[in-house]
Structure 1
Amino acid sequence: MTERKPGGMSFESWIDRQIREATERGEFDNLPGTGKPLPDLDKPDDEMWWIKQKVRSEGLSMPLPPTLALRKAAEEALAEAAGARSETEARRIVEEINARIREAIRTGLQGPPLNLMPYDVERVVSEWRDRQGR
């Protein structure tokens, strides 16, 4: 569409005419997604939506900064400890993630602040016992 808006015609009328003529030529027929709801329409506004969509559509993955990766690993370790088959296993899981957290605090990691302290092993194990009814 390289045509310029004629003088004296309002933008709305000119745009409406362009759309009507394109519709009459069938330029909007058989577009992908025709008749389907817009994806993510009910999600909150996100200025990075197009980047996230591109990453998903291309099957790309973006590695987390080390501090965020450790936070995620710590959350997963707590969940894994909660579902452990034995008290010994729960204790081992928490002690392993605590070792990683202590190392990160000692050496520092790239990324946003870690804001993570080692977990209280006895508290986690006590909660595990409570869930087991022991």
Structure 2
Amino acid sequence: MTEAWEASVEAKIQDALQRGEFDDLPGMGKPIPGRGAPYDEAWWIKSFLEREALPSDLLLPTSLQLRRRVEQVPDEVRDLPTEQSVRDFVARLNAQIVAWLRNPDGPRVAVRPVNAEDVVRRWRAERARPEVRTTVAEPALVGVAARRPRRSWWRRWRDRRG
């Protein structure tokens, strides 16, 4: 029975080839992507993330995703316009953390709610700080600094003593 089925499938493929249904397919004549590379069991996940332009953080367990978001809070709130928007952001993040703490899954990673007052205090301090302007040093001074290496502290101490 299997041989009859294989013969039928083969006949249909040959008919389609003769009609030209396999001509001009996308990728025809091009090398197979990844051929010659070592086998990777997660190749389809990686290709999906790349094709859909998704961050690889989506593969992390919830606890690690939350931990990473907590670490990135200062960068994420930096450009928020008002104190209330900073508090709202922290409240949403804390709601996600509390939801995970109530029903944890995945690896046990220490994740605690973020203190909104600390975040707001840092946000205010960063906004109050004047912009740091970098100036280009004059070429003559750069050459002098490059030529004279600085002595280590123990050599300076030794030179003073004796």
The aligned counterpart of 1:105 is 101
Structure (1 or 2) with the larger CA radius of gyration: 2
Kept in 1, the 8 Å contact 2:70–2:114? The answer is no
TM-score, normalisation: structure 2: 0.43
- Structure 1: segments with no counterpart, 5+ residues: 1-31, 33-48
Higher helix share: 2
Question: 1 CA distance for matches of 2:67 and 2:40?
Answer: 24
Q: Percent identity?
A: 28
Question: 2 CA distance for matches of 1:128 and 1:50?
Answer: 47
Q: What is the DSSP-based 3-state SS (H/G/I as helix, E as strand, rest coil) of the residue aligned with 2:40?
A: helix
Amino acid across the alignment from 1:121: A
Question: 1 CA distance for matches of 2:87 and 2:119?
Answer: 8
Q: Rate the CA distance shift 1:87–1:53 in 2: closer, same or farther, 3 A.
A: same
Measured against aligned partners, the alpha-carbon deviations of 1:24-83 in whole angstroms (never above 9, x if no partner) come to: xxxxxxxx9xxxxxxxxxxxxxxxx96399468x61347222222222333444422232
The aligned counterpart of 1:51 is 40
- The yes-or-no answer on 1:128 pairing with 2:117 is no
1:105, CA displacement in angstroms?
A: 0.9
Measured against aligned partners, the alpha-carbon deviations of 1:2-41 in whole angstroms (never above 9, x if no partner) come to: xxxxxxxxxxxxxxxxxxxxxxxxxxxxxx9xxxxxxxxx
Amino acid across the alignment from 1:106: R
TM-score, normalisation: structure 1: 0.51
Q: Rate the CA distance shift 1:53–1:100 in 2: closer, same or farther, 3 A.
A: closer
- The yes-or-no answer on 1:92 pairing with 2:75 is no
Kept in 2, the 8 Å contact 1:78–1:94? The answer is no
